[in-house]
Structure 1
């Protein structure tokens, strides 16, 4: 079946509706009645379901947590899992175009969610429309499932699967091509410490705050210090020397005894911290060079410098692990909240598929002995793996090779997708090999040609799985 002409005829409609849903700021917010993740997320869900209604799909809203739309009949269900929530936009001033304007420039749609995951969601909807308009017969039902808090907990999928049976097989367009046959385990946890001893140092750290989400490389962090007269000049001098040695964007403002330090990084997805610059780690590296040990706050800063630093493979944190199939463990500091009484440091780890959470956390805890620092696991997702010979992997690889002519092999990733919520599921697209990864970053975009190409690929994939 050739869907290319059908998809091409829908080009203008696909672009328009992608822009419209990107303009909805669907960052999780305060819950309201019937809107468990806030008004913006609910608006995006209703937009998607209304669009599916207009296309002629059968829709259902699951209490604002999730929704689905069906095409065809049959006992077996082929699923495509997407999400409509987005991470915060960060510093708007760093974007070339407003993050919720869906501006088109140079053949690209710019905006938060364009690649993660609203653009792919639109491609999936129109893939179903292409199949519907082709009038081909299917043996299985095709179902698109819309999640609404993929970026911050997956309560949407828990609720959905408490109401509906999972599809018999599925894919999610929330990663890259070709097929993702394995995903690393994900741990989000806090380092925590209560500061029992009041700081009587000549330099007091009153607060350090930075980061938005554990799965984002933080692009901003700020510290407030108070210093005695004789220390202000030495701090200024130490700061100037630090800036000369390091290519970091950090600013210092001094007024009397009050010192504010602002650290600017580069946001990136937590699974690829090498693509960003961690604003928290930059700031902590400078504070670590000031040798503030002797009090609880100073000891924590020294711990950060010695055991975390600027590394993102867990080299000093006690969890440097690697395997053949999925590579190195990834360690991302996402959020810090420190005051004079306590500190909470939130970390997001992606660990290799052949290891366990016990192996990772035991190594981390060994480095904390004698420090009074504790760990608190917030959430954990086990690694997933399907054999390369699995029917789902093979069929999707066949579609990818046929449409692109690329003879690539299935891969593993550090990202976490909805493929984890059921047994027979994998991630499939939307990024093509070698493309720039802008998810969770400023100037996130999807090219219009890739949006159309993804629609064609997903139409073929759904047809092959459901025919």
Structure 2
């Protein structure tokens, strides 16, 4: 049966890409809420288009609280296997060589905002389920492919879903990496507010930059009180892969020029604590464990106020370490007159390593790729933190990092089709 499913997946390539293109062309970035569109018009438009595709495939469809839609094969609305992805995307940003809101194929790669994160993978799951439906394969469990619309901006769609629907018996989100991810690190996002009482920062009039918590910042312009500007450049990367980027905030701390007093001390602390020190070693935060590796931290925003400097930092810490430990150590290594403001916190998660779903995923992944399928942990934050009984599974293969949220976001066509194959076989094995 596996070979029959794989052949059918390959045969469905063109209709899959046609459907995917329709979704890629929608600019599904969060906007102001509207009636029946809690996260804006773009995400809702993408959801409506996906459900139209699913209806034309003959699936039962539904929308929950205008936030999460689903395509379902089977009649059990309470006990089902869930596949959960998202249609919302981060803003395109500048510097693209391809239209960000389209599907472009060139040199073996597909380009467009969301092709990896997460339109490509979740639409591949929809067509994987359609492949099983076309083959009339008898399944003993109901499968529900779910389409969220707010993953990039806080996952506020999942509580809306759970207000009215049961969570899945178990399932996965195709929004991380392979092999199966049984644990996600803790995440805490803080702003360090440091008072500067001697006016030594007053020569900075303003800072202009595209700061976002999801990325290492790569460009910053500073205007000084004499009208002069200083422009600095780094290299953007996802905030959970800071080693792939060059952080313009710490570059500024190193190259700021002549300052004195408290601000000079502050810039020295910023450089010594953060520049090229992604594992917290500059602040005595070099925590690690065998399961999830080293702590990662990323300064992502710098602001100047009348009597204070504000530095926002995202930290992802090992699953065995407590948040209180991180905060206590950080507090002990701050400049004078500093306080910590917590913006967001997500404790680490762990899924039962003995659950039979993990065994299925390991076997299918190894069969399809020839690589080791032993479950792993991640620095990322996915829907698995919010939807019960869910883990992350794919779509990125080992060694593929720093692609999502960047300009010219891409995924190779062969990798996307391999994902569709893996997902079709996994759904079949979980539901047969």
Please tell me the TM-score bracket, short chain as reference: over 0.9
Distance 2:27 2:309 in 1: 31
Which position in structure 2 is the counterpart of 1:235? none
Given that 1:218 and 1:266 are in contact with CA atoms closer than 8 Å, whether structure 2 keeps it comes out as: yes
Cα offset, 1:321, TM superposition: 0.7
What residue ranges of structure 1 are gaps of 5+ in the alignment? 227-256
Given that 1:183 and 1:413 are in contact with CA atoms closer than 8 Å, whether structure 2 keeps it comes out as: yes
- Alignment partner of 1:266 out of 228, 235, 260: 235
Which position in structure 1 is the counterpart of 2:414? 449
Distance 2:332 2:408 in 1: 40
Distance 1:34 1:311 in 2: 45
Measured against aligned partners, the alpha-carbon deviations of 1:39-77 in whole angstroms (never above 9, x if no partner) come to 222222222222112212222222332222211123521
Measured against aligned partners, the alpha-carbon deviations of 1:288-320 in whole angstroms (never above 9, x if no partner) come to xx352325x545433322332332111123422
What residue ranges of structure 2 are gaps of 5+ in the alignment? none
Measured against aligned partners, the alpha-carbon deviations of 1:121-177 in whole angstroms (never above 9, x if no partner) come to 110110111111111222211111211121221111121112211101011111111
Tell me the secondary structure at the aligned position of residue 282 of structure 2. coil
Distance 2:387 2:44 in 1: 24
Matches within 5 A, 1:183-202: 183-199=184-200
The count of corresponding residues between Structure 1 and Structure 2 is 429
Matches within 5 A, 1:356-367: 356-367=322-333
Distance 1:220 1:303 in 2: 21
Which position in structure 2 is the counterpart of 1:343? 309
Matches within 5 A, 1:81-96: 81-90=84-93, 92-93=94-95, 95-96=96-97
Which position in structure 1 is the counterpart of 2:398? 433
Tell me the secondary structure at the aligned position of residue 258 of structure 1. coil
Which position in structure 1 is the counterpart of 2:247? 278
Which position in structure 2 is the counterpart of 1:77? 80
Given that 2:167 and 2:389 are in contact with CA atoms closer than 8 Å, whether structure 1 keeps it comes out as: no
Matches within 5 A, 1:53-452: 53-74=55-76, 75-90=78-93, 92-93=94-95, 95-199=96-200, 204-226=203-225, 257-287=226-256, 290-295=257-262, 297-368=263-334, 371-435=336-400, 437-452=402-417
Cα offset, 1:195, TM superposition: 4.6
Given that 1:400 and 1:457 are in contact with CA atoms closer than 8 Å, whether structure 2 keeps it comes out as: yes
Do the aligned partners of residues 437 and 316 (structure 1) sit closer, same or farther apart at CA in structure 2, a change above 3 Å counting?
Answer: closer
Tell me the secondary structure at the aligned position of residue 10 of structure 2. helix
Distance 2:386 2:198 in 1: 45
Given that 1:397 and 1:410 are in contact with CA atoms closer than 8 Å, whether structure 2 keeps it comes out as: yes
Range with bigger deviation, 276-285 or 453-462: 276-285
Given that 2:363 and 2:373 are in contact with CA atoms closer than 8 Å, whether structure 1 keeps it comes out as: no
Distance 2:137 2:350 in 1: 33
Do the aligned partners of residues 82 and 361 (structure 1) sit closer, same or farther apart at CA in structure 2, a change above 3 Å counting?
Answer: same
TM-score w.r.t. the length of structure 2 is 0.93
